[in-house]
Every structure is written in structure tokens, then in C-alpha cells.
Amino acid sequence: MQEHKGRAAFAAVDWGTSSFRLWLMTEKGDVLSERRSDEGMAKASAGCTFGKILKSHLSALGAGEDLPVIICGMAGARQGWTEAGYVTVPALPEAILKGAVRVPGEARDIRILPGLANRNPAHPDVMRGEETQLLGALGALGDGTHLACMPGTHSKWVRMAGHEVLEFSTYMTGELFDLLSKQSLLAHSLLGSEGMDMEAFRIAVSKAVAEPGRATNLLFAIRAGQLLEGAGADVSRARLSGTLIGLEIAGASGDALNAFSGTISLIVSGRLGDLYAEALTALSRPFITIAADDAVREGLARAARSLWFQSKE
């Protein structure tokens, strides 16, 4: 396999709070091999073992001692491996690439990409990792204005002009779903099924968009619906997810007077992508989907090219 594509030119690492992914890649950006684990920042910083974790995965893939490594994500946070700061928006891709910080004290050339910061005092915000997905997604975005939606524990909505990031906002949707589904009064209503009633999901999305101020009332109504109407766990789970995603879309895409009316760029992978696609469809909002897994790898490859293989950029 490796023979056909060429030899590893660098390793690309997406190092999040709870997950670690590494790819060995050719100069052209082809993937030779991959490693995934749960050794995210939370585990790595507990033992200050970022270096050890990285080395073990590189060794397992037989990577050379001098293979350079490009990293994005929480490894660059203050409480991570080596702080890689934030680039202030508005920001062009070049500023992100230039902000890469070399990990000191390592013989190997290891660089960590910076995050982005929105320093508008009215809407302070930060991202770390998603900026690299954006770098990788740029190929799919033309000129003009874009609104990118990046669902997750902390969903990001990013407004761009061409390839420039103008501003962005984070919504705590995924974390709220997790807390509410496991630890709130609503946990009882979700027991017994992991499924979702998609009709109930669509209705919940529409209700939250129509009346975002009632969001926490719509949440309580999940419990009331179980008590008074005998709503099942699949309906309750769909209502919880739909209410939170609808609230996010209501805030992120603006009100009727102030809405982004173009095609939303949905950068996402897996099951979460299906839910956001369903929500945007229910709201008749046009969108394209860009695979987040591919985008982050392409963003890392682009950074590697600009750092080490300038001629190819």
C-alpha cells in the first residue's frame, strides 16, 4: 500500500480534548496510515505526557526519527503541551499558518497551529482546532460571503469573506445535550431508547427557531410531555436534540431581518451531520456538506506544505 503512494513526508495530528488522531502523509497529502485513540488533552496533560503519547503512535507506524509533525487542537492550549496562542480575527489563512509554534526541547520538528480569537468585547470567542478544518475546507468555498457551521460539543458558526475569517460564535449545544440527557430532570424521560423520532425532531427545531426565548420552557415541556401525553424516549430525545440545535440555528443564522440567506457550509462528520442536515432541511435553509474529518487532515497538510514544502504550495 505504502509503496504505491510514496513515502511519509510528515505526520498530521488532530489533538482534541478527548481524542487523538494521527495520519502519516505524503508530501502530496495522501494518507499512508492512521492512528486513533482517546489520549486527548485531558489524559495527556494529567501526566504531562504529550511527547510520550506522540512518540508511541509514531513508533507504532514505523515513522522515522526525523519525520516532522504538524498538530492542531487543544495540545496548543495554555494547559496543553506548548501554548500556541490565538490569531485575532479578521484573519487570513496565512496568519494561521504563520502562527505555528515549535515545541521546544524536541529533536524532531514538531509544530502546533494557533487557534482563533474574536476579541470584540461584545462577543468574545475562541476556537482551537476548527480553524484547521476551515483551512482544509477553503478549497470547497469560492469567493463571496460564507457562513460555515461546525457542529460539536461547542458548535462554531463562522462568517467568512472569501478565505478571510471575519468573525465567529460558539454555541454550547453538544455540551448542553450531554449534561441535560444524562444529569437533569430530563434524563428520566430519555431512558429506554437511544433512537430519535425524526418528526418530533423537526417540530422541535422549528419551535425553537420560532420562539428561542422559550428554549428552557421547551426543554421542561419534554418532561411534561412524558407525564401528560406518555411521550416515549425516542420522542423525548428528539425533542431535546431538536430544541438545542434549533436554538443554535436561531441565534447563529440571525433573525428574519438579519439572516444569512446564502448556502450554509456545514462542516461535519457522522451522525451529527445527519441531524444538522435534517434541521436545516426542515427550515428550508440551503446548505452543502463538507466532511470535517477530511477537512482537518487537509488543513494540516496545507500547513505542512507551507512550513516544509513551500515549493508545492
Q: Name the residues that contact a second copy, by CB under 8 A.
A: 86, 117-119, 121, 123-126, 154, 169-173, 175-176, 179-180, 183-185, 209, 211-217, 219-221, 223-225, 227-229, 244, 247-248, 250-252, 255
Which of residues 77 and 113 has its CB atom nearest to a second copy in the complex? 77
Query: What residue type is assigned to position 94 of the chain?
Result: E
Question: At closest approach, how far in Å is the CB of 82 from a second copy?
Answer: 17
Cell digits of residue 24: 502519516
Question: Is 4 in contact with 11 (CB distance < 8 Å)?
Answer: no
Return the closest-CA partner of residue 243 out of 269, 215, 262: 215
Question: At closest approach, how far in Å is the CB of 254 from a second copy?
Answer: 8
Element (H, E) at 16: none
Question: At closest approach, how far in Å is the CB of 70 from a second copy?
Answer: 24
Question: At closest approach, how far in Å is the CB of 259 from a second copy?
Answer: 11
Residue tagged 497538510 (cell numbers): 301
Which of residues 3 and 229 has its CB atom nearest to a second copy in the complex? 229
Return the closest-CA partner of residue 249 out of 214, 206, 289, 196: 206
Which of residues 2 and 45 has its CB atom nearest to a second copy in the complex? 45
Which of residues 244 and 268 has its CB atom nearest to a second copy in the complex? 244
Which of residues 253 and 289 has its CB atom nearest to a second copy in the complex? 253
Euclidean distance between CA atoms 268 and 213, whole angstroms: 27
Annotate 46-79 with b (16+ C-beta within 10 A) or e (fewer): eeeebeebbeebbeebebeeebbbbbbbbbbbee
Question: At closest approach, how far in Å is the CB of 204 from a second copy?
Answer: 12
